[in-house]
A = this chain, B = another copy of it.
Amino acid sequence: MEILKEIKVLIKPVGNMVIEKSVTNLLDLLRRMDVDISDECGGRGTCGKCKVRILNKTYAINENEKLLLSETEISDGIHLACQVILTEDTEVELLSRTEKSTMRKLIHSVGVTYEVDSKLKKLYLELPPPNIMNPIDDIGNFEMHLPDTSKKIKIPISLLKTFSAFLRKTDYKVTFVISPDKLINIEAGDTTSRMYGLAFDLGTTTIAGSLINVINGDELAVIAETNPQQSYGADVISRINYAKDQPGGLSKLQSIVVDTINSMIESLIANLDVSFRDIYEISIAGNTIMTHILLGIDPRYIGESPYVPTFRRIAAINAEEVGLTLLPKAQVIVLPNISGYVGGDITAMILAKEIHRDDRISLGIDIGTNGEIVLGSKRGIKCCSTAAGPAFEGVHISCGMRAENGAIDKVVFGSDDIYYEVIGDVEPKGICGSGLLDVVAGMLEQGVIDTSGRIKPPEEIENEFYRNRVFQNDAGQNFIVVPKERTLKNAIIVVTQRDIREIQLAKAAINAGIQILITDLGIDPSQIECVYLAGAFGSYINKYSALKIGLLPSSIDVEKIHFVGNTAIAGARKYLLSERSRSETEVILAMTDYVELSMRVDFQEKFAQSMSFG
């Protein structure tokens, strides 16, 4: 890939900013950012559905656009996103947001490159049939025609049982699927052009999967589903407890996740010329608890001090041993965990962003119920997990909700009004994490709260609009984000003093975690050159809000903050496609120190200090 200059792309109305490292097709970029935009023609410039407004109007109109856009549209700066190749800094305005799925799920990632050097190989052989002068055994015949005859290929007994009959049925013209020293399958004829794999992000809340052509690295289909284990506990601790305390709990949780992955695989290959028999490997990045449960390994000891998992690294497992409806010997490869609370999804982030090979110091953050933080460079990496609590997921917040239809996810405080965006373009029901961040940032900016986090009584607030939005009840001061007439349920959407405290606790945990890693790595915050915000929450927040409320250290320049999307699935895809990536996870494990915060007095101090908005 040719490296050109950096291009900043600002997506309006509410302001996602992406830094692209090369010339990019605008529709591709929007898709990678999970912007829902119609493209019925598949980006060929014939359906006219992907209209956007380019605000700095520097792009020429091409022939396709002339056919599909009116004079007025053209003069108004409207383009078809699929026809725009971004070559310089650009502001893009989305004209409409189409209906989103019930829950916002992030599958794509930004700025990850994929090498293809898989040890999964297909070998088409036309074996000479044995004859009376050379009555070679069938396995010996196969072994003799391997490119490297010194290499022993382990043949599972199930394939041995069909081996001889299959050779004769296919006239000795067969394709052998080998990975890396095991025979995975035998196929009739030459099937070397078909070789697929899966990359999965096994999250506590969401499971996302991607179907990959292992020959060229291309992604053919993506899917995301809510993890139905949610009914058995929203967070990993309650899942551990369910597995531990309920009879058959572990196997129930396992079969739920296995069934979900199976049905996702079915959806991924539906409508494509791909059979489950063409899929030979599934690469899975998940947190440590989820990967233990997937394999049916009791995660209980991760839940008790000293919080150790059974495994960090685990050898490839046959699909049949996990219960996946793939070929019995398809390989399940799990990205290694770093510790009990820093899982393979974080290894995947490091791998995807190549933090371990980067000369620059990078800070990577994945915020969920736990906030996993990594800080480092090729000279060494520190990581920790902070119990940020579920505030950023809208839990324990009076009007909080998950990022589903009806959730306010972006808020801008104007001088005399509050502007907001609602998922699904409906009347708002509540506020999700990214919206909360914006609200707290806005309240700070407009002087509604002071640096201690106290909501000021109306008389202390200068701006009249905001003064009128504060009212007191038994629990203290409250701030009205949306008056009741504008809400779906005709009930005001408020932020309470207690909500502010929850946000403070959550952001303080993340901030203090970052500070501990900065201290332990022995660097100055100014030395951090890249900040990667990964995962669903991290990809939808407003950077300025995050800095404003002190989620991120104030010393970090906003320009250094990058939304990197779903790096778990991106890392899983790299792991699937590249042997070098697989061996690099060994390097990552060796060079990454896990910092246990629960034992650190200085963490408690930094945590207390970070509560302030000062």
Q: How far is the CA of A135 from the CA of B160 in the complex (A)?
A: 43
Among B137, B296, B300, contact of A308 (Cβ-Cβ < 8 Å):
B137
Among B133, B155, B301, B594, contact of A315 (Cβ-Cβ < 8 Å):
B155
CB of A298 closer than 8 Å to a CB of B:
yes
Instruction: Please tell me which stretch of A161-169, A356-364, A497-505 contacts chain B, meaning at least 4 of its Cβ atoms lie within 8 angstroms of it.
Output: A161-169
CB of A295 closer than 8 Å to a CB of B:
yes
Known contacts A155-B315, A160-B314, A596-B132; A137/B309 CB under 8 A = yes
Structural contact, A599 and B132, CB atoms closer than 8 A: yes
CB of A311 closer than 8 Å to a CB of B:
yes
Structural contact, A157 and B313, CB atoms closer than 8 A: no
CB of A29 closer than 8 Å to a CB of B:
no
Chain B residues with CB under 8 A of A154: 315
Structural contact, B308 and A135, CB atoms closer than 8 A: yes
Structural contact, A138 and B310, CB atoms closer than 8 A: yes
Q: How far is the CA of A320 from the CA of B301 in the complex (A)?
A: 29
Structural contact, A164 and B315, CB atoms closer than 8 A: no
Chain B residues with CB under 8 A of A476: none
CB of A598 closer than 8 Å to a CB of B:
yes
Contact with B along A296-326 (1 / 0, CB 8 A): 1110110001111111111101000110000
Structural contact, B157 and A321, CB atoms closer than 8 A: yes
Structural contact, B137 and A311, CB atoms closer than 8 A: yes
CB of A140 closer than 8 Å to a CB of B:
yes
Q: How far is the CA of A307 from the CA of B305 in the complex (A)?
A: 63
CB of A340 closer than 8 Å to a CB of B:
yes
Chain B residues with CB under 8 A of A248: none
Q: How far is the CA of A135 from the CA of B296 in the complex (A)?
A: 22
CB of A146 closer than 8 Å to a CB of B:
no
Write the chain B residue with the least CB distance to A288: B137
Chain B residues with CB under 8 A of A594: 135
CB of A136 closer than 8 Å to a CB of B:
yes
Chain B residues with CB under 8 A of A133: 596, 599
Structural contact, A165 and B298, CB atoms closer than 8 A: yes
Write the chain B residue with the least CB distance to A296: B161
Chain B residues with CB under 8 A of A168: 301
CB of A483 closer than 8 Å to a CB of B:
no
Considering only residues 595-613 of chain A, those with a C-beta below 8 Å from chain B are: 596, 598-599
Considering only residues 277-300 of chain A, those with a C-beta below 8 Å from chain B are: 295-298, 300
Distance (Å) between the CB of A157 and the closest chain B CB? 5
Contact with B along A113-157 (1 / 0, CB 8 A): 000000000000000001111111111100000000000101101
Among B164, B311, B598, contact of A160 (Cβ-Cβ < 8 Å):
B311
Considering only residues 216-253 of chain A, those with a C-beta below 8 Å from chain B are: none
Chain B residues with CB under 8 A of A152: 315
Write the chain B residue with the least CB distance to A589: B140
CB of A339 closer than 8 Å to a CB of B:
yes
Distance (Å) between the CB of A321 and the closest chain B CB? 5
Structural contact, A312 and B596, CB atoms closer than 8 A: no
Among B140, B298, B309, contact of A312 (Cβ-Cβ < 8 Å):
B140
Q: How far is the CA of A315 from the CA of B160 in the complex (A)?
A: 11
Most B C-beta atoms less than 10 A away, residue of A155, A301, A339: A301
Chain B residues with CB under 8 A of A306: 130-132, 134-135
Nearest 10 A/B pairs, CB to CB: A135-B306, A139-B311, A132-B306, A164-B310, A130-B308, A137-B312, A137-B309, A135-B308, A130-B306, A138-B310
26 A–B pairs (Cβ distance < 8 Å), ordered by A: A130-B306, A131-B306, A132-B305, A132-B306, A132-B307, A133-B596, A135-B308, A136-B308, A137-B311, A137-B312, A137-B339, A137-B340, A138-B311, A139-B313, A140-B313, A152-B315, A155-B314, A155-B315, A160-B297, A160-B310, A160-B314, A161-B295, A164-B297, A164-B300, A164-B310, A168-B301
